[in-house]
Every structure is written in C-alpha cells, then in structure tokens.
Amino acid sequence: MALPPLDLYDVRSLLSDEERAIQSAVADFTDTRVLPIIGDCFAEGRFPRELVPELARLGLFGATLPEAYGGGGLGPVSYGLICQELERGDSGVRSFASVQSSLCMYPIFAYGSDAQRRRWLPGMAAGEIIGCFGLTEAHGGSDPANMQTRARKAGGDWVLDGAKMWITNGTLADVAVVWAQTDDGVQGFLVESAMEGFAAHDIRNKMSLRASVTSALYLDGVRVPEANRLAGVRGLKGALGCLTEARYGITWGAIGAATACLDEALGYSKERVLFGRPVAATQSAQVKLADWARRLTAAQLLSLHLGRLKEAGTMHPTQVSLAKWNNVRMALDVARGARDLLGGAGITTDYCPIRHALNLESVITYEGTETVHQLAVGRELTGINAFAG
C-alpha cells in the first residue's frame, strides 16, 4: 500500500483520538476559511480580522489553559497541531494565534494574579480582547537584556517610557504585555491601548508576513496602575519563559508551511510535462522531493517528541532552540525549493510556495534568529556562553 506522501512515518497514528480530532477540525478550518482568501490578503497586505471570532469559536486561543479561565485544557501536542494546521494556511494566521495564546494569555496565567486572570483571559479566549507582546526594541532584538524602556514607581502607580519595535498585532491590540526595566530588574506590565501616552503605528512596506499586522509601540509617560503589573515574575526569565512557549508552537507551525509547499510541488511537478514527460519523472526533481520529505519527516518526529517532553514537564529551552532552528530552516529551504520547481508560476500567489518562503524569512528571524538558537545549542554543548561580551 502506498504511504501518505506528507506523513511518510504515519506520525498521525502516534496521536491520541483527541489530538487527531483537533488536527482535523483545524485542518478543515484552514481548507475552507483560510486558503480561499489568504493569497489575496497577502497581496493586499491585509490581516483577515474577520477570522478572529471563528478562531475563538474553535477554541484556538489559550487552548492549553484551564477551562475556568476560558481555555480548553488541552495538552501541548494539541496546541502544536493547532499551530501546524494554521500555518499550513499562512504564518500570519498562526502568528496571531501564537501571540494571543503563548505571548499574552500565557504570561497573564503564569505570572498574573487571580484577579488579572479573571479580568483578561475569558475575553481573550473569546477573541473579544486582543493582545500583543512588547519585548523587542529597535536597537537590537536579539539582546533584550539591553532594554531601554523603563518603568518607575510613582505613588501607587508605575510610569512607563520607551518604545517597542516589530510588534505583531500592535495596532489591533486592546492590551500590550510590555516588558520594562525597573530598579528591581525587568518586569511585565499590562498596558491598555486606551491609556494616555500609549500609541501604536503599523510598519509598512513589509515583503514578509503581509497578512499579519506588525507595529511599533510608543510609551510616553504612560501611567499604569499596580493592578496591571505581572507580580509573579521578576527578571528577563519572565519574558524568555513566554518565548519558550511560543517557540515550541513555531516548531510545529513550520511543519505546516513545509507540508503545504511539498504538497504543491508534488502536484505541480506531476502535472507539468516538459521534454515529453512530467517534471516529477526526472531524477533531479525526485531527489529534491525526496530530500524535502526526509527533512519534513524528521521535523514531524522532532516536534512530536518535544511535545511529549513538554507534556511530561521535562522539556528544556535548549531543546526548543534546536527544534525551532531545525524546523524553520527546513521549512524555508522547502518553500524556496518548491518555488523554484514551479518555475514562473512559482512567483505568483496563485501557488503557495512564494508566500510561505517570504513569510518564513520573518519566522526564521523572530522568536530568536537562527544564529541565536545555534548559539544557545552551542552554549549547551560547550558550557561556554558566546553571548557574553
């Protein structure tokens, strides 16, 4: 019997019934709601905001959080499969869900008070409150410890001054999780977009993640009440802990993007007849397709095992770094190669590879660049910190 070309090791058989059901439901959403519009959204530079209530109805925001806060109580593999199927549609749609879930709902749940959880999480799960995550600053995102944004105590409140750059969902957000330097180290604050002194502007002329909103945030003497401080964590580890959650999801998302490109390349090369035979019948095309399937299969197994480690509570951030590096590099190479195999047709958004390839240029940069993750693995192997000045 022929093997399924996009799942050569039958990884789906290693999933629980619940995980398979979730994957199928999100796959159906991507097929029916995302794919018919996403090429146009990308071309127009438009985030498909109309999908947000539907994503919420499917339970895709905060899916791993307890039901008491509007979450779905799902496990990490289910969350990974959600990211995979959304990014099979577009990295921008997955980004929206990652930021909402891993970078905003997660820190409120993990570091916030019960009052903060109750105030924010149910509305965020329902898609009625949109969040963004402000860590990066214009002078160097790889080195967040060199943060210039400051929060100083003023009576019972805090006053924030500074700016954040490259912030997904920035102008859509009702609340921004902003990380700022204080006299007691880096702390997180829930800055509401209506607060005086807060402003957000979109970054224009992006050639990547065009179906996603990316913004700059400005904080000019924004007075934030103590009730909006995330008191459960202090130091950069709070922000880095959120990144571990989001990076874990991205390892799965990259599999979705690569799957879409391999699927497109297989279909096209079997139909395209050149020199009297399908392109797929040539040895060079088969070597490329086989190589992409090999790397995709390895990525699928890597993320699934990472998910099982996360489920067991033993996942280490360096393991996430290795998988983010491996899987996003794999997806970018597959997308670029598939674009080439489609010839001229490959440069239009009628086919998905160029859109995924362009998106993946962001995915390989955000949440820690490829180099940052390589150096994190190098540090683990050698015990020598190459980030130290």
Footprint of ligand FAD (CB under 6 A): 99, 132-136, 140-142, 166-168, 209, 214, 362, 365-367, 369, 371-372, 375, 387
Q: Where are the alpha helices (DSSP H) in the chain?
A: 17-29, 35-44, 52-57, 76-89, 91-98, 106-111, 114-125, 237-271, 283-312, 317-341, 353-363, 370-382
Residue 355's nearest CA partner among 252, 176, 208, 155 is: 208
| Residue 237 binds to ligand TGC (criterion: CB under 6 A) | yes
Residue 207's nearest CA partner among 365, 314, 329, 86 is: 365
| Residue 232 binds to ligand TGC (criterion: CB under 6 A) | no
- How many C-beta atoms surround the C-beta of residue 240 within 10 A? 17
| Residue 387 binds to ligand TGC (criterion: CB under 6 A) | yes
What are the angstrom distances between the C-alpha of 330 and each of 30, 140, 253, 316, 337? 22, 26, 12, 21, 11
167 touches, from ligand FAD, ligand TGC, none (C-beta below 5 to 8 Å by class): ligand FAD
* Non-local CB neighbours of 324 within 8 Å, separated by 6+ positions: 247, 250, 251, 367, 368, 373
| Residue 244 binds to ligand TGC (criterion: CB under 6 A) | yes
Choice among 271, 361, 367, 370 that is catalytic = 367
Return the number of the residue (57 or 237) whose C-beta is nearest ligand TGC: 237
Return the number of the residue (57 or 316) whose C-beta is nearest ligand TGC: 316
367 in catalytic set: yes
Stretch that binds ligand TGC, among 15-23, 53-61, 62-70, 243-251 (CB under 6 A): 243-251
Residues 175, 90, 202, 367, CA torsion sign: positive
| Residue 142 binds to ligand TGC (criterion: CB under 6 A) | yes
Separation CA 386–CA 389 (nearest Å): 8
71 touches, from ligand TGC, ligand FAD, none (C-beta below 5 to 8 Å by class): none
Return the number of the residue (257 or 266) whose C-beta is nearest ligand TGC: 257
Return the number of the residue (134 or 307) whose C-beta is nearest ligand FAD: 134
- Phi/psi of residue 151, nearest 5 degrees: -125, 125
CB of 132 to ligand FAD, least distance (A): 6
Q: Which of 197, 241, 278, 378 binds ligand TGC (CB under 6 A)?
A: 241
| Residue 181 binds to ligand TGC (criterion: CB under 6 A) | no
CB of 210 to ligand FAD, least distance (A): 10
Separation CA 305–CA 15 (nearest Å): 11
Q: Catalytic positions, please?
A: 367
